[in-house]
């Protein structure tokens, strides 16, 4: 091979390899490694677009109730299984009409393009989780915000409203106490 061609090609090959690596890292940084859901950054960018384009969008904030007790009683592997199964149930419920994410810890977020059937979500989330031959109860508090009910369509305001609704749902049986799933 000609030395001049090689001298020109090597920087281009290096640049292409570096670009591919950075693209891969960016893509994986936008996905939660445990659940496969979008991270806050990956979800937020898409959710803002949905709010701008879909007046009937609904923002949901979800939190597993008494998650620390699940981890302490059954181990962190059981907690991880509960997180993964909750993520799958949420993603299945959203389907192709919504976007799901994990904000961190035991907190999830979703946005649906149209007013969804929240009862079906509640039914799916309250199913026990199978782990090590046992059926572990799962309780999830859910808060929602219908974007059309907001004076100004803003993701941060929708999340704040959904957060308040989620804590109201969580407060039905006390913030820290265990309780069966209720709506």
Query: Annotated catalytic sites, by residue?
Result: 106
**Residue 70: both structure tokens together:** 């699940």
Q: Are 169 and 143 in contact (CB under 8 A)?
A: yes
The DSSP annotation for 34-79 comes to TT--B-HHHHHHHHHHHHHH-TT-EEEEEEETTHHHHHHHH-HHHH
- Cα dist from 105 to 57, 101, 118, 128, 152, whole Å: 25, 12, 23, 19, 30
Which residue do the tokens 């799958």 mark? 88
């Amino acid at each position: 091979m000609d030395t001049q061609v090689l001298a020109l090609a090597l920087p281009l090959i290096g640049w292409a390899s570096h670009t591919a690596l950075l693209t891969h890292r960016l893509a994986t940084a936008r996905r939660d490694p445990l659940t496969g859901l979008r991270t806050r950054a990956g979800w937020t960018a898409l959710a803002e677009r949905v709010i701008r384009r879909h007046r009937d969008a609904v923002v949901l904030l979800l939190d597993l109730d008494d998650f620390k007790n699940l981890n302490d009683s059954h181990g962190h592997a059981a907690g991880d299984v509960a997180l993964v199964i909750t993520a799958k149930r949420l993603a299945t419920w959203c389907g192709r009409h919504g976007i799901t994410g994990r904000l961190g810890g035991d907190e999830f977020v979703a946005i649906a393009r149209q007013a969804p059937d929240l009862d079906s979500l509640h039914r799916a989330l309250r199913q026990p989780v199978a782990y090590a031959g046992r059926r572990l109860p799962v309780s999830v508090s859910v808060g929602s915000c219908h974007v059309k009910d907001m004076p100004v369509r803003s993701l941060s305001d929708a999340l704040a409203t959904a957060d308040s609704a989620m804590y109201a749902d969580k407060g039905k049986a006390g913030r820290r106490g265990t309780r069966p799933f209720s709506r």
